[in-house]
Amino acid sequence: MTDLATELGTAELVIVANRLPVDEVTAPDGSSTWRRSPGGLVTALEPVLRQHHGAWVGWPGGVDQEIEPFVSDGLTLVPVPLSAEEVEEFYEGFSNATLWPLYHDVVATPAFHREWWESYVEVNRRFTEKAAEVAAPGATVWVQDYQLQLVPRMLRDLRPDLKIGFYLHIPFPPVELFLQLPWRREILEGLLGADLIGFQLPGGAANFVRLVHERVGHETRGDRVFLPDGRIVRAAAYPISIDTEEFETLARSEATEKRVAEIRESLGNPRTVFLGVDRLDYTKGITARLRAYSELIASGDLDVEECVFVQVATPSRERVEQYRRLRDEIDMLVGRVNGDYGPLGRPVIDYQHVSFPREEMAALYRAADVMVVTPLRDGMNLVAKEYVACKFDDEGALVLSEFAGAAHELRQAWMVNPYDINGMKNALLEASRATPEDRRRRMRAMRAQVKEHDVARWAATFLGDLG
């Protein structure tokens, strides 16, 4: 037997996630290869997957790709195909236009469609079947995120021998909001198929346990649910993190150092660089943040000759209607502010609707004096942690929304309520005018937090508790 779980039924650890951790790249001659997609999850899980004869089950990202399991960079990957209709109904529909807004405090209105739900059930079953095929007897299966909440139950029915964990990367909503979901009972039952259910924050775990008690009628005590068949399910918080060392190493490199100088130069060597980095998503609070900043420019509290706001908004879910509208809204806002207040050749807001390589991200973080992270609701927000990880000289200030999971750990940030524009304006001013000692004291404390709690520790803790 090889070290790789290429034979069916031999994987001791199976990760089941919506996406495989690779993207298909097509060469000019038409041939295609797979390239590892950057991301903390795969970095964290790679060593454990190797150690434990592991496999990763996920969608390869295209339409109707019938691909046999394969090995890429030493990882065994098991593709789950989706049809064009399923991409529309399961992925863009139920996952991203029903569950995503519902779980983020309905900051956009969730759409409920019965066909989308049917597709969600169908696709969850397909993921389950693949996972059941590759898992060795008694293996551990770790299911990831909101797209796959029915998998734990379906998998337990097929394979009662498995140890099953589930982790939700986004917030689990308050009881009153969750109850809007026509399929609320099925989702709760789906999750209860797991032995351990992980949430970003204790509040999410508590919401879940309360719902199970009130709506499914199971006995609960603390973080435990007692099922009629004698099984005990635990629901607890495991705040996710980043590969802190990797970011710091990247930030310290000479190439980054050089790039930081180039970036500041190209921005006109301003005194203060404000930075926002987000997927272009309505949960991230991009418009309100840019509005707060432009009011400070309009009033003269911030001088356009001395400051610039760099906003990176990575393209995301571009076929979903609400995301298209948001993009137009931001385009209009940035255009208006730059037209009204930007001197020739100097934008007030330098808006980048692109995805940058990781190296460029590290340079941007290092170049930024004030990082502005103001989601209306966010499970964790890794950008805030990445910024802190890159500030090895303890310089820089973080403005952070109370409604990001990260606010529970990065307590020394300038905290804001992203719905309070005046409050955000004050925080932006305070953070940019704080004394170097004050900034350093805060940054040191936050750095100690992310250094100790990195993504490897997150994965090890969850898997340890599951085992």
Q: Which residues bind ligand GDG (CB under 6 A)?
A: 38, 169-170, 240, 277, 279, 312, 314, 355-358, 361, 378-383, 386
Token pair for residue 76? 């065994």
Which residues lie below 8 Å from residue 142, measured CB to CB, with a gap of 6+? 13, 14, 15, 16, 164, 165, 166, 167, 462, 463, 466
- Rounded CA-CA distance 319/329 in Å is 16
Is the CA virtual torsion 278, 432, 417, 401 positive or negative? positive
Crossing angle of the two packed helices 436-452 and 382-390, in degrees rounded to 10: 110
For residue 56, give every residue at least 6 positions away whose Cβ sits within 8 Å of its Cβ, in sequence order, or none.
14, 15, 17, 20, 21, 42, 45, 49, 75, 76, 77, 78
Nearer Cβ to ligand GDG, position 4 or 280? Answer: 280
Least distance between ligand GDG and beta carbon 69 (Å): 26
Helices (H), 100-236: 100-103, 114-134, 151-158, 175-178, 184-191, 202-211
Smallest gap from Cβ 315 to ligand GDG, in A, equals 9
Catalytic residue among 169, 218, 353, 408: 169
Report which residue type is found at 435: T
Instruction: Report, in Å, the least distance between residue 213 CB and ligand GDG.
Output: 26
Choice among 350, 369, 378, 454 that is catalytic = 378
Q: Smallest distance from the beta carbon of 165 to ligand GDG, in angstroms?
A: 15
Residue entry with tokens 């060469």: 27
In the complex, minimum distance from the CB of residue 283 to ligand GDG, in angstroms, rounded to a whole number: 7
The residue (of 5 and 282) whose beta carbon lies closer to ligand GDG is 282
- What helix, strand, coil percent values describe the chain, rounded to 5? 45, 20, 35
Residue 465 known to be catalytic: no
| 169 in catalytic set | yes
Q: Residue 404 in 3-state DSSP?
A: strand
Half-sphere exposure at residue 414, Cβ-oriented, CA atoms within 13 angstroms: 25
User: Of 456, 20, 13, whose CA–CA distance to 238 is shortest?
Assistant: 456
Q: How far is the CB of 378 from ligand GDG (least distance, A)?
A: 4
Tokens of 218: 């199971």
Active centre residues (catalytic): 169, 378
